[in-house]
Amino acid sequence: MSVIANNLQAVLVRIAHACRLAGRSADDVRLLAVSKAWPTDSVLAAAAAGQRAFGESYVQEALAKMNATHDAGLEWHFIGPLQSNKTQKVAEHFAWVHAIDRVKLAERLSAQRPAALPPLQVCVQVNVSGEASKSGCRPEAALALCQAVAALPRLSLRGLMTIPQPTDDPAAQRAAFGRLRRLQEQLCAAGLPLDTLSMGMSDDLEAAIAEGATIVRVGTAIFGERNNP
Ligand SMILES: *Cc1c(COP(=O)(O)O)cnc(C)c1O
């Protein structure tokens, strides 16, 4: 087995174990393999081991990998921060966007989503770590943002995403993920049909699953340490 196939298997075992501890079905948690900074060959190795959904943060890098893996039937998720002037290619080529943090971004993606494709599946990113983090909308702003996104014709609002301030303390990890879950519950009670919680990465996926994650976004534990530029 390739190193990547081995790592992937180990991550799936971690997910299954965390689900069992939480009394959840392993089918309720999808693994998104975050392949940013890794070449097409790494994507193909994971795909050969059965992985279908891949997460990317840089548009040009992702497009190159999509082209090179065109026949593999992979599903691509844009997870990085997105500048408004880079929305066109994302609307044209991705199945999901996880980092909607303002109405303007959502409006552009909806307007640019090709009619021939299904609606773009999106999550609103929320900052649950206060001043420690700058990405995502404030929890107080999530209701209005979600309502605006839900009204856009070419987007399908699926749920919430967060990247908490990193910490080694499992209780602190769970506290942050629990804030996102409670927010989802409030928004559902307000009538928004949110079925997705995109939370948990290589170092904290167990805490995220314990708090209800339905998509975990895992890079390092599958592909190895990234060389930061
Ligand atoms: C890079 C990245 C990940 C993966 O993080 P790892 O620690 O490598 O698992 C997950 N989510 C987002 C938004 C990322 O940018």
Q: Whose CA is nearest to atom 10 of ligand 1?
A: 217
Give the number of domains in the chain.
1
Does the beta carbon of 166 lie inside 6 Å of ligand 1? no
Domain holding 37, by residue range, is: 3-223
In a domain, 40, yes or no: yes
In a domain, 229, yes or no: no
In a domain, 217, yes or no: yes
In a domain, 65, yes or no: yes
pLDDT on residue 223: 98
Please give the chain's pLDDT, 229 residues, in tens. 799 999 999 999 999 999 999 999 999 999 999 999 999 999 999 999 999 999 999 999 999 999 999 988 999 999 999 999 999 999 999 999 999 999 999 999 999 999 999 999 999 999 999 877 778 999 999 999 999 999 999 999 999 999 999 999 999 999 999 999 999 999 999 999 999 999 999 999 999 999 999 999 999 999 999 986 5
Q: What is the pTM of this model?
A: 0.97
Collect contacts of 216-219 with beta carbons under 8 A, ≥24 apart. Answer: 216/15, 216/29, 216/30, 216/31, 216/32, 217/32, 217/34, 217/55, 217/77, 217/79, 217/98, 218/11, 218/31, 218/32, 218/33, 218/34, 219/33, 219/34, 219/35, 219/36, 219/37, 219/38, 219/55
Instruction: Tell me the residue length of the chain.
Output: 229
In a domain, 48, yes or no: yes
In a domain, 110, yes or no: yes
Distances (CA, A) of 219 to 28, 122, 171: 20, 20, 23
For 123, the enclosing helix (H) or strand (E) is strand 120-125
In a domain, 205, yes or no: yes
Does the beta carbon of 201 lie inside 6 Å of ligand 1? yes
Ramachandran region of residue 130, left (φ > 0), alpha (ψ -120 to 50) or beta?
left
- 201 Cα to the center of ligand 1, angstroms: 6
Q: 140-151: per-residue pLDDT in tens?
A: 999 999 999 999
- Residue 19's nearest CA partner among 9, 7, 27 is 27
**Phi, psi angles (nearest 5°) of residue 100:** -75, 115
CATH of the domain at 80: 3.20.20.10
| Atom in ligand 1 nearest the alpha carbon of residue 98 | 13
- 70 Cα to the center of ligand 1, angstroms: 23
- 219 Cα to the center of ligand 1, angstroms: 6
Cβ proximity of 121 and 84 under 8 Å:
no
Q: Whose CA is nearest to atom 15 of ligand 1?
A: 80
Q: Whose CA is nearest to atom 12 of ligand 1?
A: 79
- 154 Cα to the center of ligand 1, angstroms: 27
Q: Could you identify the residue written with the tokens 């070419």?
A: 154
| Atom in ligand 1 nearest the alpha carbon of residue 217 | 10
pLDDT on residue 228: 65
**Phi, psi angles (nearest 5°) of residue 34:** -90, 105
Query: What residue spans of 98-168 are helical by DSSP H?
Result: 103-112, 142-150
In a domain, 228, yes or no: no
